[in-house]
Amino acid sequence: MTESQKPAQTGIKVIVVGTGFAGLTAAIECHRKGHDVLVLEKFPELKLLGDIISFGPNSSRLFCRWPGVAEKLEPLSMRADAITLKSWKGETLFTQYWEGEDKEFGIRFDGHRGEFHEVVYNHAKEIGVTIRLGARVEDYFEDDKQAGVVLDSGERITADVVIAAEGVRSKGRKIVLGFEDAPKPSGYAVYRSWFSADEIAKDPDTKFFTEGGDKHVAWLGPDVHFIAACMKKGKDFSWVCTHKDDADIEESWQLEAPLEDARKVLEGWDPIVQKILDKTPSPLIDWKLVYRDPLPTWISKGRRIALIGDSAHPFLPTSIQGASQAMEDGVTIAVCLREAGGPDKVQEAVAAFEAIRYERVKSAQKTGEQTRDIWHKADFEAAKKNPESMRLRREAWLLGFDAEKYAEDNYARTVEVLRRTGLDDISEARKLHIPDSTDGYTEFSNGNENTSDKISAEAHAVAGTVIS
């Protein structure tokens, strides 16, 4: 279907709560598939917030299907040909090149969250998605015939299905779980910064970042890693530092922190890291990594409300999959609703959405735990002997996946099981969609290296997984 062709209308009314990448993907795909969609966003205006965000080939293929979007993202994207992994002292451990990955899996996009978000948000508006800003949702409700939300103004809005995509503090979790659950501190936080690369380019010791194309370098230390990147042909510079942190996150998980806090964490590290800090403006963003206990389900008892993205399954940054899995959620639920054929089958579609997504997401979450453990618990002497052990795993089951096609190809057999078992029991339908790797990366699932029971308790805690 070309974008100029109006899709056949399904008659299904959808409310999407939240305009993050999960919500916008759900909204765009629902619109493209003929649903009547309304998006509600609590903020009165959208700002270019954030810093670096990554979209793997598995989600970037969606950008390529939205006319003009990939073309607008390309000049904003980092195009480093490799990532260099170093010890915290500055010793180079391994350089991992991306040559051939685009051909095998497809293109990926890495860049500034705010800039990418503006492109996607504007695309949603351009194709006709209705978005109401300043619409803060205070509650969700459903019955057998409809679902809806209550705004802080008291206004009630109803639809056939509601998609809760407003992040880790989603109020939609209450109606799914049946109780209020608060996010918990993970014991980790991330200092984040994004600034002009002008000063980086002037220093003889750091100017390599700005010369000969984009650069990407990670320094790894005990329970800390520092990743720096230069992009847009030497124009912008970004770094993130994941570190131990026990601060309370009851009120907020994104704060400001003085640069001196990062200096303390990185004291004694490679002189190049120190020079990067010297050129970094203060304050930093101090992003507390929170987690939720694993959810037994992402959908309400009435099967008309679905959690997607961080609302359902927060990811570790080291997975490099949080945004991608959120987008996969968005396109999958849009496909399921279309395949349902009309409003009378919405509950079946919502149940099928969870069945199709649940096991894949569970395994994808584990990849972040595994990468963090490899990096934070590294034996650097052993790494020198086997430097490839430090690499980022890039596996086909994760990156070569097409969520839209998979949902289209597998909806019918999923619903066949659900009609036999009933919509109250999705466990058998979930088993249809267990991925090739059931425990994170394939080499870990197969027991070739560390297995899941060796993953650190801290890494499990960040993603909210349970150690048996």
Instruction: Encode 416-429: b = buried (16+ Cβ within 10 Å), e = exposed.
Output: ebbeeeebeebeeb
H helices of 287-393, in order, are: 322-340, 346-376, 380-385
Q: What Cα–Cα distance (Å) separates residue 248 from each residue in 188, 316, 405, 465?
A: 11, 18, 42, 20
79 counts as catalytic:
no
Q: 426 CB contacts (<8 Å, ≥6 apart)?
A: 297, 351, 354, 355, 358, 418
For residue 218, the one-letter residue type is A
Task: Give the Å distances, CA to CA, from 249 to 56, 158, 275.
Answer: 29, 33, 31
Residues in the chain: 468
CA distance 381 to 384: 5
Q: Which of 192, 292, 303, 304 is catalytic?
A: 192
Q: Report helix angle 322-340 to 21-32, nearest 10.
A: 30
| Residue-wise DSSP of 81-146 | SEEEEEETTS-EEEEEE-TTHHHHH---EEEEHHHHHHHHHHHHHHTT-EEEET--EEEEEE-SS-
CB–CB of 170/164 below 8 Å? yes
User: Which residues are catalytic, by number?
Assistant: 192
